[in-house]
Structure 1
Amino acid sequence: MKKSLLLFTLCFWGAFAWAQAKKDLNIDDIFKNGVFRGQSVYGINWMKDGQYYSSMIRDINGDFVVKMDIQSGLPVDTLASSKGLTDLLDKSIRIDAYHFSADEQKILIETEHEAIYRRSWKAFYYVYDRQANTVVALAEGDKQSFATFSPDGNKVAFVRNNNLFVTDLATMEETAVTTDGQYNALLHGMGDWVYEEEFSIAKAFKWSPDSKKLAYLSFDESEVKEFSMAMYGSLYPVEYKFKYPKAGEKNSDIFLSIYDLASSKTTAIDKGSEEDVYIPRMYWSNDSQHLSYIWMNRLQNELELRAANATDGKFELLLKETSKTYVDLDFNDQIEFLADGSFIRTSEKDGYKHIYLHDASGKEIRQITNGAWEVSTIVGVDKKKKKIYFLSREQSSLEDQFYVVDYKGKGKKQLSTREGNHRINFSGDFKYYIQYQSNVEQPLRVTLHNAKGQELKVLEENQAQAETWANYQIGTKEFMTVKAADGQTDLNAYMIKPADFDPNKKYPLLMFVYGGPGSQMVKNSFPSSRDAWYFMLANQGYLVACVDNRGTGGKGRDFKHITYKDLGKIESEDQIYAAKSFAQESYIDESRIGIWGWSFGGYMSSLCLMKGADVFSTAIAVAPVTNWRYYDTIYTERYQSTPQLNPNGYDDNSPVFHVDKLEGNFFLIHGTADDNVHFQNAVELENALISANKQFRSFYYPNRNHGIYGDNATRHLYTMMTNYILEKL
């Protein structure tokens, strides 16, 4: 085990409260009272002149959309208010979200927001004309989804009851782009469940730059099998059904179309001879005559960027990437078209995610960034100055730092100056940006900068949060590296120790794991509420550790792809090996090592307890996948291929088939209304454990989804897990 130079002691804030007794951490302060939550600057929407941004403020007087001065950070105008809208409509209005037209004279007001799944929602929309001081409902009837202004601000497209519509704001006349949409059968302009969850596609339409056309996806899910969940609370439980394609099963048939508003003509885009494919991204060219889109085969080991003619629907191939494992869409989907048709994109084809420039035909002109490190994301492309702003992990795989480089790959400069992780929100004219930065010693700091990186103003630095933490007894969090099961590869890790840590004592160890493909749990960021729980456990005599096994992110393609077709094998081996390494420390009680995780982490903790029965004495699994055959097509087949082609990869590391090895204490927790990792996973694992005559504990949360929250559920869950750890570990 090697401790890195990143060794942080979280007693830095002790100076704030050295003269007073420290408080003990407790569940209520962490998960009920929100004592450790910090502040941020939310809802930033840059305005077109680049000198102002808008934000939404909600207080006892109502909801306000305000115009903020960049330099002073003070409001200079109220652009809309719930009271004003209520007076105009003679009905009460709450502003849940808002969206400007291009000239900023009209605002789409979203109210009565109703979540559907993770990224989808429906609401009632109103169009507020600032100049005329009038407001009108966008549409009549049922709620709408994804209402979006056309680029010229004269029209709004939206989805209602699985069909796509356009409203002309001059006449408020509504035109149906599609009419045959049907629940659980045919969706237009909105993603199906699996596209939404795994490709982040909820809104599945896009305006052309000239506002004359709409490109949209349609999903025929009529042959996709339904999954049903019982929703409790009434005399007879309600059965909720939705289409969910499990690994190896039928996907939706997908179609890409372009609707011409002037002619009311719909042109189908040729998707080629292969039917069982994915179209996860689309991009309009600057001339509005060509629609580029990403095409992937079902196994996701082939990716093509195609350019379709908006008139006849025929396409030409711009580029193609193939892989012996999979082509990671998240590393290949950032594409920015330039005025001459050339484009900038990201790819990990050289082993690390980097930025590339291509000409209009798709030919690669140059690789703009390179090295044995990853670009995290392109923040923006300043087309006037030919500069690319991006976040990368060049300095450390634990941190996202902020850089700028020109189109030629020259003049690369780091703009961020502080340790830790960064998020950037650039103004449309690339004159200013707002930076969100934190590290393990410093709470979230929100600052305004010019394009040169100079800090102009501090918008939030969470002094109150730092002082709150200072009032509590907090231990230490140490970053380190441990070896993988191959004995050679370094894995990022951290360990939390109690404030009164004594190296001469023996401590039980609780490991937290996620471990899924591309994920990162070990990062140099300020502690979260869950970290506060870990510090609470530390103060009760536990050590808490986390290891990012092989297969996780931040260290390149080979490190991540090594788990292909064998999810769980190498990951669990690494966690077991790390636990054995920790056990060699004189201050760790090797007979009391536990592990817990959620979702993929619950899968890992279950598998580790069973495969590592000689190492782990206790495990908690929250909402775990227990057999990859039960999970969805897009995610599972990307990493496992299909169960028809790779049956052993599905079964060899499924906890369901390792129950005979269980020796320690096992606690299984799940929500009954989990639309993502179905409750079925828990039921089938329990059945296998019962058949093997293995004793375990289980608990279910009625009507809770994958996040298990709402109506005291979070507090209840962490109280229950705390009690279990105190009892069993």
Structure 2
Amino acid sequence: MTSHTPADTFPRQYARTLRYTVGAPRSFAVASDGSRVVFLRSRSGSDRANLLWTLDTATGEERVAADPAALLGGGEEDLSPAEKARRERSREGSAGIVGYALDGAGKVAAFALSGRLFLADLVAGSSTELPAEGPLLDPRPSPDGAFVAYANTAGELRLTRTDGTADWAFAQPDGPNVTWGQAEFIAQEEMDRDRGFWWSPQSDRLLVERADDSPVGRWWIADPANPGSEPAEVAYPAAGTANAETGLWLLGLDGSRTEVVWDREAFPYLGRVHWSTGGVPLLLVQARDQRSQRILGVDVETGATEVLHEERDDVWLELFTGVPAWTPDGKLVRISDTAGEDGVRALVVGDHAVTGADLHLRAVLAVTAEEVFFTASGGAAETDPEPGWIGVGRIGHDGKRLSWEAANGRPFTSVSTAVHAAGITVRATAEPDLPGTLVQVARDLPDGVVVDDVATIESYAETPVITARPVFRFAGERRIPAAVFLPTGYDRERDGLLPVLMDPYGGPHGQRVVQAHNPHLNSQWFADQGFAVVVADGRGTPGRGPAWEKSIAFDFAGATLDDQVDALQALAGEFPLDLGRVAIRGWSYGGYLAALAVLRRPDVFHVGVAGAPVTDWELYDTHYTERYLGHPAERPEVYAANSLGGYAAGLERPLMIIHGLADDNVVAAHTLRLSSALLAAGRPHTVLPLSGVTHMTPQEEVAENLLLLQVDFVKKSLGI
């Protein structure tokens, strides 16, 4: 890690370094022969532009494979609106090379830079620009390295030869709102699927998504600070309204075109696509209510599909990274809420669950001829010694030979992830007492021993100017995972009870209590301003099993808020919490929870700061909202009970609402509607509009000053 600038304050450094991610290595891949590791990293902790690097696994030597400054001749990047939107969907704030794809051998990497197409020769260490009709998105080489396929902002899927001799349209829009080879909005925002095309292992054809968003309602995001600019048109599928129409086609390099056929009326969501040498292409398709889904096998000659597995859940079914997939010998790999013991989320290989009640599966990282690599956390929370650990495990297809990949042999007091191929594992591990993430390259030896002496990939990220000191606990009878932060140098006899700041996300897919250091720096800084800060992951958050996550069905406003109250009161028995001075802050779902807290429980919460809150769930998107609250036409009372406008008359406490006016995820209408309801009820409140700011708030000055303004508002409201 690099040192910080002496004049830095934490808010300034935190904003400038994109939460200490700038300069950290990321986006790892391993060549199919294990000879090299490919990754992205900028030159320093103050330079946001990522370079493409390789590491020789024989020598540990690192080499720059592509430098955006050299490729652009020192010029600035020019990002298309489509690329900006894609980065917003993926929460990407860095610059330079932000993604790449390899051929089958890992000898070449394709990437987009400033809307142009480049190819890096990873063996020679050189890069060249290829002919392309841009601005382009998501370039991917064919497995044999002869072609690069890419989508562009005109809605085309195009092919270019890697020798630079030809570039042509492979599929062109057949309607004004049709795109080929691009994931639709809902897939990117809520399904964690950002791909829209997949090469065959033989490089002779592609599976390509065709999306038509004509049925989707149009919203317009204006910039009130610049009334002369045109509003941006956004196709936004709000809850209860139409989604984009999506389908798949098999397009051959010989000119053949075959539509993939499945019951799209019953299963309209295309959640996952997998195509490997282990078997036919796999699709995972979901019903709109997400209570049933099918894994389909595709006949590549006819486009017909066969149901390989069907699953149903009375509440909902999750989508997971890395599955479904094939083992090399043709066994189906999946993650299931129904196949494991005692309702634990299990890894299933073939017909058998290979993990038990002691593990809660989160993702599949790699499937080899003998093993599956995965991430998991505790299955039986009652026996977990610490909350918030995430480990990388590997297990045989028969459920035997379970082992853990962990730095310092501590899988249960850390957070890890990994990539694996050809006997090489790149493992990234974070621990609570060490800033940043340790990235180690390990090699499997023939006798089954794993050695970590290949290399450690250095991080250039800056060292934080403060140190986080989380104290982890399971709080209350429900054993709510929590982390408590006290001011640096706090002395109970001298300082007495402290005003409390609850700092939750508190909703689905948003785990905050993790066995790591850097994710807690923001909370520690708030603590150092004179607060006892409490982060609690109540029901609905990941990591505690399906029953924990699904207990919030149709009840955001009850379960998630109740758990914040219960955690606060339980922790007050051990920590110096002044329950007469309690504030709550949060962003996105956390913003919803903060506003909900002061509206519904003014007896507990005395001030709230709500950033980019969802206030009317009928204004949020289909896949997310309907999963938890159902369809608004079928459950209007659920939407009314969980939205905030109906509680406006109950506001008794100070409330600040912050919203970016350029936010196209949680649009500013949420804040404006709540503010109007509060005004109609005669309830004073504060609204802070952020001109030109999206849901990510990537601007340094905005991110820095938001922290300072929140502290000032909370202190004044609590009389500190």
Code of the aligned partner of 2:282: S
Q: Is the 8 A contact 1:492 1:547 kept in 2?
A: yes
Structure 1 residue matching 2:281: 3-state secondary structure: strand
Q: 2:472 aligns with which of 476, 479, 491?
A: 479
Q: Does residue 686 of structure 2 align to residue 702 of structure 1?
A: no
Query: What is residue 637 of structure 1 aligned with on the other side?
Result: 626
What residue is the counterpart of 1:392 in the other structure?
A: 376
**In structure 1, which of residues 459, 471, 477 is the aligned counterpart of residue 456 of structure 2?**
459
CA shift, 1:46, in A, is 2.5
**Structure 2: how far apart are the matches of 1:253 and 1:33?**
39
Partner of 1:373: 359
Task: State which drifts further: 389-398 or 145-154.
Answer: 389-398
Distance 1:495 1:550 in 2: 18
Paired residues of 1:481 and 1:491 also in contact (CA < 8 A) = yes
Distance 2:240 2:658 in 1: 27
Greater mean deviation of Cα atoms: 658-667 or 510-519 = 510-519
Residue pair 1:40, 1:460 contacting (<8 A) in 2 also = no
Within the alignment, does 1:326 sit opposite 2:323 as a pair?
A: no
Shift of 1:725: 1.8
When structure 1 is superposed on structure 2, of 299-308 and 336-345 the one drifting more is 336-345
Kindly indicate whether the alpha-carbon contact (under 8 Å) linking 2:11 and 2:705 is maintained by their aligned counterparts in 1.
no
Partner of 2:498: 507
Question: Could you say which residue in structure 2 is the equivalent of 1:675?
Answer: 664
Which residue in the other structure is 1:110 paired with? 112
d(CA) in 2 for partners of 1:292, 1:33: 40
Pair 108,315 (structure 1): closer, same or farther in 2 beyond 3 Å: closer
Which residue number in structure 2 is paired with residue 74 of structure 1? 61
Aligned partner of residue 209 in structure 1, secondary structure:
coil
Question: Retained in 1: the 8 A contact 2:290–2:317?
Answer: yes
What residue in structure 2 maps to residue 227 of structure 1?
219
Name which of 287, 293, 302 aligns with 2:283: 293
Report the AA paired with residue 180 of structure 1. P
Q: What aligned pairs does 1:255-294 form with structure 2 within 5 A after superposition?
A: 255-262=247-254, 264-272=255-263, 274=265, 277-286=268-277, 290-294=280-284
With the length of structure 1 as denominator, give the TM-score of the two structures.
0.84
Q: Deviations over 1:658-713 (max 9, x none)?
A: 11111111000000010101101000000000011000111011111101221511
Instruction: State percent identity of aligned pairs.
Output: 22
1:618 is displaced (CA, Å) by 0.3
Letter in 2 for 1:495: V
SS in 2 for 1:329: coil
Equivalence for 1:10:
none
**Which piece of structure 1 moves more, 143-152 or 388-397?**
388-397
Superposed CA offset, 1:233-266 (max 9, x none): 656022100111100001112211111221x121
1:520-579 superposed Cα distances (whole Å, 9 cap, x missing partner): 111111134xx3343333333211001111121111111110111222211112212333
In the alignment, which of 482, 487, 511 is matched to residue 498 of structure 1? 487
Judged with a 3 Å threshold, the aligned counterparts in structure 2 of structure 1 residues 79 and 567 are, in CA distance, closer, same or farther, namely closer
Aligned to 1:205: 197
Counterpart of 1:27 (choices 4, 8, 11) is 11
> Is residue 433 from structure 1 mapped to residue 419 from structure 2 by the alignment?
no
The residue correspondences of 1:589-604 to structure 2 (distance < 5 A) are 589-604=578-593
Shift of 1:232: 5.4
Deviation at 1:189, TM superposition (A): 1.1
List per-residue Cα deviations over 1:459-513 (Å, max 9, x = no partner). 26879967x65xx5x6843111222xxxx32111111112343435121101011
CA contact (8 A) 2:441 2:457 kept: no
Code of the residue aligned with 2:113 in structure 1: it is T
Q: Provide the C-alpha distance between the structure 2 equivalents of 1:376 and 1:650, rounded to a whole number of angstroms.
A: 29
Give the CA deviation at 1:218.
1.3
Q: Within 5 Å, which residues of 2 pair with 1:37-76?
A: 40-55=24-39, 65-70=52-57, 72-75=59-62
Aligned letter for 1:454? V
Aligned partner letter, 1:688: A
**Do the aligned partners of 1:181 and 1:188 also contact (CA within 8 Å) in 2?**
no
Who is 1:626 aligned against? 615
Range with greater deviation from structure 2 (587-596 or 456-465): 456-465
Is the 1:475–1:539 Cα contact (8 Å) retained in structure 2? no
Which structure 2 residues correspond to residues 241-260 of structure 1 after superposition, within 5 A? 241-260=233-252
> Displacement of 1:406 after TM fit?
1.0
The residue number in structure 1 matching 2:86 is: none
Q: Which moved more, 1:66-75 or 1:205-214?
A: 66-75
What letter corresponds to residue 614 of structure 2 in structure 1? V
**Matching residue of 1:178:** 171
**SS of the counterpart of 1:652?**
helix
Mind listing any 5+ residue stretches in structure 2 that lack a counterpart? 1-5, 79-94, 379-383
Q: Does 1:616 align with 2:608?
A: no
The one-letter amino acid paired with 2:165 is M
Equivalent residue, structure 1, for 2:103:
101
SS where residue 489 of structure 1 aligns? Answer: coil
TM-score of the pair, normalised by structure 2? 0.85
Partners of 2:25 and 2:41 within 8 A in 1: no
Shift of 1:129: 6.3
Aligned 8 A contact 2:392 2:418 in 1: no
**RMSD across aligned positions (CA):** 3.3
* Whole-Å separation in 1 of the counterparts to 2:565 and 2:417: 37
Q: CA deviation at 1:37?
A: 7.0
The Cα shift of 1:643 comes to 0.4
Aligned twin of 2:650: 661
Does the Cα contact within 8 Å between 2:15 and 2:700 map onto a contact in 1?
A: no
Quote the residue 2:346 is aligned against. Answer: 354
Instruction: Report the AA paired with residue 409 of structure 1.
Output: G
How far 1:586 sits from its partner (Å)? Answer: 8.1
1:158 counterpart letter in structure 2: Y
**What is the rounded CA distance, in whole Å, between the counterparts of 1:168 and 1:196 in structure 2?**
28
Say which SS state the counterpart of residue 658 (structure 1) adopts: helix
What are the residue-to-residue correspondences of 1:308-327 with 2, within 5 Å? 308-327=298-317
Show the 5 A alignment for 1:513-528: 513-528=504-519
Q: Distance in 2 between matches of 1:34 and 1:260?
A: 42
Tell me the secondary structure at the aligned position of residue 714 of structure 1: helix
Question: Is the Cα–Cα contact under 8 Å of residues 672 and 705 in structure 1 kept in the other structure?
Answer: yes
Deviation at residue 728 of structure 1 after TM alignment: 1.3
Distance (Å, rounded) in 2 between the aligned partners of 1:59 and 1:475: 26
Please point out which of 332, 348, 352 is paired with 1:343. Answer: 332
Task: Measure, in 2, the Cα distance between the counterparts of 1:203 and 1:152.
Answer: 20
Determine which structure has more spread, i.e. the larger CA radius of gyration. 1
- Relative distance call for 1:105 and 1:326 in structure 2 (3 A) is closer
Change (3 A) 1:476 1:159: closer
Structure 1: 5+ residue runs without aligned partners?
A: 1-21, 113-122, 359-363
Which amino acid counterpart does residue 646 of structure 1 have in structure 2?
R
* Alignment partner of 1:305 is 2:295: yes
Corresponding residue of 1:191: 183
Q: Do the aligned partners of residues 126 and 307 (structure 1) sit closer, same or farther apart at CA in structure 2, a change above 3 Å counting?
A: same
SS at match of 2:171: coil
- Offset at residue 158 of structure 1 (A): 1.2
CA 191–86 in structure 1, closer or farther in 2 if over 3 Å, else same? closer
Q: 1:537 to 1:80 in 2, by over 3 A?
A: closer
Structure 2 residue 431 is matched with structure 1 residue 442? no
Of 681, 684, 692, the match for 2:673: 684
Q: Which amino acid aligns with 2:269?
A: Y
